[in-house]
Amino acid sequence: MERIEHRACFGGWQDVWRHESTTLGCTMNFGIYLPPQASAGNSVQKLPVLYWLSGLTCTEQNFITKAGAQRYAAEHGVIIVAPDTSPRGDDVADAEGYDIGKGAGFYLNATEAPWASHYRMHDYVVHELPALIEAHFPASDARSIFGHSMGGHGALVLALRNPGRYRSVSAFSPIVAPSQVPWGEKAFSAYLGADRETWKAWDACELIATASERLPLLIDQGGADEFLDKQLQPERLQAAADAAGHPFTLRRQPGYDHSYYFIASFIGEHIAHHAAALRA
């Protein structure tokens, strides 16, 4: 494992590390913000970790340069880990289009060729990456997860699939019903195949119906989001949560679009929400 960026930021360090992922079979980068509390004094207390999952086309860089999260992570003493959005490298399958292949891993384990050999972002984010973080940094096993768009889908699905694994979950402008919108249908057809039954295990609207853990879901959705009607449709998850009696908060934010300007405006509230759960 090699540190490739090391930047002082709000009294802590915004670092980027590169490592060989056994789960993905390729070299991966991840961002990690270590707040000032991570290096205070000699006896370092282990800190909780908040995982951020980015959206289509992103690498680990988008969140760490644009979200303005470091200020709040420093205030709350929380580590934030931001992985890349897909496996990378010349050996990894790709395809035309920003919404499939590299930069578009959808946080699932692919079953179909040519994707199945590397596209295992679920296992990477849920298992390999936390094991690495908790072994190499002053990180406790208190974990929460959030994300944006495809990464909002990822956060919801990973939390719903892995009860007990996360203390809290939230999302900005998530894809909540991938089985029923163009982005999801394209990705799931490729990664999971034509049998839509298999898609249900990766769809928050389906998973919430049978969730064994009632982890409250917090979602912020911009009212001027250019993808709202066609790709996001948060009312589908609202209906599924209502039907299941699952605690769910959907905050519609008028005027905000799909960009990091939206994320930056509310990231402080999300981090405070997670910090409260992580410290409880």
Sites of contact with a copy of itself (CB under 8 A):
7-11, 14, 65-66, 68, 70-71, 222, 224, 253, 255-257, 259-262, 264-265, 268
Q: Select 11 or 193, whichever has its Cβ closest to a copy of itself.
A: 11
- Confirm whether 141 is a catalytic residue: no
Give the long-range contacts of residues 260-267, CB within 8 A, separation 24 or more.
260/62, 260/66, 260/67, 262/172, 262/173, 262/220, 262/222, 262/225, 263/66, 263/67, 263/148, 263/172, 264/66, 264/67, 264/68, 266/172, 266/220, 267/67, 267/68, 267/69, 267/72
Q: How far is the CB of 113 from a copy of itself (least distance, A)?
A: 38
- Confirm whether 19 is a catalytic residue: no
Length of the chain: 280
The single residue of 15, 225, 246, 274 carrying the catalytic annotation is 225
Eight-state DSSP code of residue 149? T
In angstroms, how far is the first alpha carbon of the chain from the final one? 32
Q: Select 119 or 260, whichever has its Cβ closest to a copy of itself.
A: 260
Q: How far is the CB of 13 from a copy of itself (least distance, A)?
A: 8
- Confirm whether 99 is a catalytic residue: no
Q: Which two tokens stand for residue 130?
A: 């936390």
The single residue of 258, 270, 273, 274 carrying the catalytic annotation is 258
The single residue of 21, 86, 144, 149 carrying the catalytic annotation is 149
Q: Select 122 or 258, whichever has its Cβ closest to a copy of itself.
A: 258
The residues annotated with a catalytic role in the active site are: 149, 225, 258
